[in-house]
Amino acid sequence: AQKVTQAQTEISVVEKEDVTLDCVYETRDTTYYLFWYKQPPSGELVFLIRRNSFDEQNEISGRYSWNFQKSTSSFNFTITASQVVDSAVYFCALSNRGGTASKLTFGTGTRLQVTL
């Protein structure tokens, strides 16, 4: 069985602070994919990133960065110099390679509130 845990239910930061959203996953598969999605107040989930289990290189995209560590089964997401527009619920998700590759297992989400 697959499981994704996002222990942080809600985080509040002041604009320009850095913030890290934690994600811990469980899977028995050796090949799998990890994702982050953003859900703004409009409700529409927006894809942010996909990593496969063979690629542990960290990735940076503008103010966003992701730290994938297989040794700790974690895929953490850091927002540098946060902005009010970053306020949203962020979901970490996991998919295996077999069967329906896009049948994602989602965590419960972390609500990020960025204030001025």
Partner 1 sequence: GAGVSQSPSNKVTEKGKDVELRCDPISGHTALYWYRQSLGQGLEFLIYFQGNSAPDKSGLPSDRFSAERTGGSVSTLTIQRTQQEDSAVYLCASSPRGGGPQAAGELFFGEGSRLTVL
Which parts of this chain interact with partner 1 (CB under 8 A)?
A: 4, 6, 31, 33, 35, 37, 42-47, 50, 52, 91, 93, 95, 97, 99-109
CA angle at 59 for the pair 8 and 50, rounded to the nearest 5°: 70
The three-state secondary structure class of 70 is helix
The three-state secondary structure class of 1 is coil
Q: Which is nearer to partner 1, 18 or 55 (CB)?
A: 55
Q: Which is nearer to partner 1, 16 or 103 (CB)?
A: 103
Q: Which residue has the tokens 């295996």?
A: 96
Query: Contact 33/51 with Cβ under 8 angstroms?
Result: yes
Q: Which is nearer to partner 1, 41 or 62 (CB)?
A: 41
- C-alpha 50/C-alpha 80 separation (Å) is 19
